[in-house]
Amino acid sequence: MDVVIVESPAKAKTINKYLGRDYTVLASFGHVRDLPAKDGSVRPDEDFSMSWEVDGKSSKRLTDIARAVKDADGLVLATDPDREGEAISWHVLEVLRQKKALKDKPVRRVVFNAITKKAVLDAMAQPRDIDVPLVDAYLARRALDYLVGFTLSPVLWRKLPGARSAGRVQSVALRLVCDREAEIERFVREDYWLVAATLGTPRKESFEARLTAFEGRKLQKLDIKSQEEADAIKEMLDGAEFGAASVEAKPTKRNPVPPFTTSTLQQAASSRLGFSASRTMQVAQRLYEGVEIGGETAGLITYMRTDGVQIAPEAIDGARETIASAFGARYLPEKPRFYSTKAKNAQEAHEAIRPTDFSRTPDSVRQYLEADQARLYDLIWKRAISSQMVSAEIERTTVEIDARNGARSASLRAVGSVIKFDGFLAAYADRKDEDAEDEESRRLPEINSGERLAREAIDVTQHTTEPPPRYSEASLIKKMEELGIGRPSTYAATLKTLEDRGYVQIDKRRLVPEAKGRLVTTFLESFFDRYVEYDFTAALEEKLDQISDGKLAWKDVLRDFWREFSGAVDGIKELRVSEVLDALNEELAPLVFPAREDGGDPRLCPKCGAGQLSLKLGRYGAFIGCSNYPECGYTRQLGADNGNGEAVGETGDRELGTDPYTGEAIVLKSGRFGPYVQRGEGKEAKRSSLPKGWTPDSIDHERALALLSLPRNVGPHPETGKMISAGLGRYGPFLLHDGAYANLDSIEDVFSVGINRAVSLIAEKQAKGVRGRGGKPAALKELGDHPDGGAITVRDGRYGPYVNHGKVNATLPKGKDPMAVTMEEALALIAEKAGKSGGAKRGKSAKTGGKAPKTGKKSADKSGQAAGS
């Protein structure tokens, strides 16, 4: 009997069914070792030797694996088919060798690009050895990320208090977001006018044509700069006669796009489904590992971390059969279509993301899938099937029109197109196709060259140029891919890290850099510019790819990098904080010192009128303060404004009136942590921060009184007789009754919610299992028993949903649906939580009763990044 090692329990369960009794399939639960999050884990002075640590949750699994291998005939390493999967196999093999569990047993490496019975059996018949160059590339990448993070981050902490850390790839992604923000701030809007004519044919059909030339001068989009010029053109056209100078109808074809890669799937899922990159990968992982359909578990898609666009020949045959049966013979091209990747080095090395069986249409499997799974599978299936369909046939018509008014002339153009045969568009249209669909569906009426056209209306419209849009997750991933920064398996983790560190926030699906993020980027650009350059980072990625191809030695790459990087860090260690602040004041002037409406010096303190404003660094990060401190105590939050571009604090404190009951003054102030209202002075003063969505310029006497009056008594509960109150807390607006909380949707609800709705909301929260004074919430979902004994459940507490085992409570990641939590995810979260707390509580609940081993911080799956990555 052979032991087969895969990464997840779900995959282990499915593959065990395929292989039968001659195999024991065990899960590693992702990575089993990592570099400890402390200095010295990578030692450049010892030729980049690395210390690996097995964390608490992996120790028992590795012991179980070693025990099983000792009694087995051989070992099959079947982790995922990418660099991370190769690394996990290497780690497992190294640990088993250290435990002397292998002896002379044969070791084979196999990869499954899809979790289907055929794919698994075919892979088992074609084993290979560990891909050493691929492991070397992993070691180099891991060492680089560690060295950058654990060398640069301490410098950052000392020079910019409040900053979290700086990672190799994340810092460059953050720079992209910040550079775009600076571009938006520099953008100068321009007004321009467009002129269009609504014309009629002799057959009484209307269409629109746009002005392209006037008095012999060709006009581009922005060429008409004033209302006067536009009105003069309109006056001429109002008296002109129009005729069709030429009509050209040109047939064209539009070809389908390739099937999804990791990055294009993330982009499409973001724009079409509203999924974040991490959510896309979570759902895709479930589809890859398999779902139960008709009593049989099968993977629905191929491996989802790939930059390849090719499809296996047998899969192409299946796609062609489905096209013929589902769409008809006319939609099937004579020959299969083949695609080649445009990536510089598609070392992640697989097929494109496609269905494992094209005959499993989205409609046929929808009943077996969760809602998000069904939506993502529908997207993948349609994109893949369309890639093997015939081109769309389109007729594009262009009409050139002359307009004459005496000796004066103008030219206009009408363009329309129509889809003559939809082809692949019957299955899938990418975003540019959908954007053009309105134009294509507006077919021009019959127009003959030389015939006169009737003038129906001349329209002049004013427009304003717009700055480039902020990046969305999808457009940032696309840009990173174009620049060669990062790789498919890293995009989701990179974006999640930026958000978790507070460097960016997502507003209406757009990435907005926080002040902290802009400070970090400016600091790195000012003092470590080479290491946040796009070309430098892309060139380093290429070297990592060359390592995976066996063309470069991984330690040579590390030596070259470390020689220059360590020298740059040494040169910055003695830098004084005042020098850092001077550089930041200059580079971030538009953000830090916005222009004043009165044209005065934006750096002049508005409170004392003598000091100069400057960035200051405090325990909790940067803020703006006066140089006359402590005589002048003026401060304001970095980047805060009143909604009109005027910085909060620019005009000092603003008096709003007095409290009608106490007679105390009510003042709008700005502190280090943002704007707030205050009643009274000294230690007895009542203060309230402004809730989310309320800007300083919107605060008046009435609103300030309302805030300072919180919490508000709604009324006694009809059953308990105890008071229900509404208030604003750290986690937003809430209701409180008998020690139990229920969330409110908005701050306005705090002031308006009535007793009936309050009782209803509290009841709904209690039904979900809200924690009261009495103890533990009711279980939302029971997952089963922990390997150490005891039930694992999903519950909803005061601060959100979590998984529970004994005395260990592990909060679910932000955005995670509590009803979608799997046993695998729960075990990983519980193990990580127990590890962070030293394992004491968990140890007491275990059968041994002793203390659990001390563990290091370790990610639950292979997509996790260490602190400095």
Catalytic residue IDs = 303
Roughly what angle, to the nearest 10 degrees, separates helices 515-527 and 168-186? Answer: 110
Which DSSP state fits 433?
H
Element (H, E) at 96: helix 83-98
Burial of 609 (0-12, 13-18, 19+ CB in 10 A): exposed
Pairing of strands 49-50, 42-43: antiparallel
d(CA 259, CA 301): 12
Burial of 251 (0-12, 13-18, 19+ CB in 10 A): exposed
Report the amino acid identity of residue 416: G
Buried b / exposed e over 453-462, threshold 16 CB at 10 Å, is bebeebebee
Report the amino acid identity of residue 421: F
Q: Where are the beta strands (DSSP E) in 206-358?
A: 206-214, 217-218, 241-254, 291-293, 296-298
d(CA 91, CA 87): 6
Burial of 749 (0-12, 13-18, 19+ CB in 10 A): middle
Number of C-beta neighbours around residue 249 at 10 A: 14
- The answer to whether 642 and 651 have CB atoms below 8 angstroms apart is no
Roughly what angle, to the nearest 10 degrees, separates helices 168-186 and 132-159? Answer: 60
Name the 3-class secondary structure at 44.
Answer: helix
Structure tokens given for 606:
């508005």
Q: Which of 581, 594, 589 is nearest to 523 (CA)?
A: 581
Sign of the CA dihedral running 731, 736, 739, 741: negative
Report the amino acid identity of residue 739: G
d(CA 452, CA 21): 84
d(CA 469, CA 461): 23
Structure tokens given for 773:
């004074």
d(CA 859, CA 182): 34
d(CA 14, CA 291): 9
Q: Which of 407, 450, 400 is nearest to 240 (CA)?
A: 407
Q: Which of 115, 97, 117 is nearest to 107 (CA)?
A: 97
Q: Which of 549, 543, 558 is nearest to 133 (CA)?
A: 549
Burial of 281 (0-12, 13-18, 19+ CB in 10 A): buried
Sign of the CA dihedral running 304, 309, 315, 321: positive
DSSP sequence for 254-287? EPPPPPB-HHHHHHHIIIII---HHHHHHHHHHH
Name the 3-class secondary structure at 403.
Answer: strand
Which DSSP state fits 128?
B
- The answer to whether 23 and 2 have CB atoms below 8 angstroms apart is yes
Pairing of strands 107-109, 74-77: parallel
Residue 476's DSSP bridge partners are none
d(CA 191, CA 211): 17
d(CA 782, CA 769): 13
